[in-house]
Amino acid sequence: MPLLDDEPRSVVADLVGRVSPHDNQETGDQREILGWVASGAPLFRVQSPATPPRHLAVYFALLDDNHRQIVLVDHVKAGCWLLPGGHVDDGENPATTVIREAEEELGIAARFHEELGGGNPFFLTVTQTRGADSHTDVTLWFVLAADRGQAIVPDPREFRGISWFGLDEPIDWAASTFDPQMHRFVDKLRTALVATGVSSR
pLDDT single digits (tens) 82-128? 999 999 999 999 999 999 999 999 999 999 999 999 999 999 999 98
CB 167 within 8 A of CB 190: yes
pLDDT at 5: 45
Residue 71's closest CA among 188, 184, 164, 178?
164
Q: With the CA atoms of 141, 110, 100 and 164 taken in that order, what torsion angle do they form, in degrees rounded to the nearest 10?
A: 60
**Amino acid at residue number 73:** V
Q: Is the pLDDT of residue 139 over 50?
A: yes
Confidence of residue 199 (pLDDT cuts 50, 70, 90): low
The pTM for the full model equals 0.93
pLDDT at 153: 93
3-state secondary structure of 12: helix
Name, in order, each residue with C-beta under 8 angstroms of 122's C-beta and a sequence gap of 6 or more.
19, 61, 116, 141, 142, 143, 188, 189, 192
Mean pLDDT of 70-92: 93
**Domains of the chain, residue spans:** 8-196
CATH class of 8-196: alpha beta
pLDDT at 2: 45
